[in-house]
Amino acid sequence: MKVGSEEWTETIRSCAATFGIAVDREQGALFARHARELLNWNRKTNLTAITDPAEMALKHFADSIIPVQWLPKGARVLDIGAGGGFPGIPLKIMDPSLSLTLIDAVRKKASFLKFVIRALRLEGIEAHHMRAEEMAGRPEFENGFDVVVCRALSALDDFARLALPLLRTDGLMIALKGNITDEEIEAARRSGPEGLHVEVSRYVLPVLNAERGIIIMRRNR
């Protein structure tokens, strides 16, 4: 299988369908372009350790779009530590109504994000070389997002600590992770305000049989 081929795109489409998500031809083509640009940049700069075609299709793209079913139409979304653009850019491709901001503390990753946004001709999306702590100190971003997403942060309580100052009162925090323990979930619950609701959806990525999970955190109104 070659990255960007019809077989590669069909791998994403088939996996997404198992979660009730339909990927059309135009969306598949944008995923393919994103993946090819990521590999091109990765030859010179370390953007991702995942370069196997099947793993890229499933772990980078199919896994990234699963949270789309939780995102309100037209939501203002922040992706913390977006790296190669995941999960933010695939989510934007699936729902163009989203207003998306990507941040990464590593300059070369932020540069790639800006490049790929231009290459894919995406609108309503911006990328910044910035840490979440820095963003929280700027009035234009404070409590400004409906949803904050991240993938593969080391600990849920760290994510909650970073996301809460940037989130509207009734906003959502969505984390994509592999191994999720009950202890980690409880630590995240304790790290937030009183009444923080934590919901966990566990699933297995087809073909790779990789155990994954989506953690959705919100303040109880």
- Do residues 7 and 1 make contact, with C-beta atoms less than 8 angstroms apart? yes
Task: Provide the Cα torsion 136, 69, 218, 148; round to 10°.
Answer: -10
Q: Cis check for the bond before 193: say yes or no (omega within 30 of 0).
A: no
Greatest CA separation for the chain: 49
Say whether 151 counts as a known binding-site residue: yes
Alpha-carbon separation of residue 100 from 81, 85, 122 (angstroms): 13, 11, 10
Say whether 37 counts as a known binding-site residue: no
Classify the C-alpha dihedral 156-161-167-169 as positive or negative. Answer: positive
Say whether 28 counts as a known binding-site residue: no
Say whether 107 counts as a known binding-site residue: no
CB neighbourhood size of 9 (10 A): 21
CB neighbourhood size of 146 (10 A): 18
Say whether 105 counts as a known binding-site residue: no
What are the binding residues?
A: 81, 86, 132-133, 151
What are the binding residues for S-adenosyl-L-methionine?
A: 81, 86, 132-133, 151
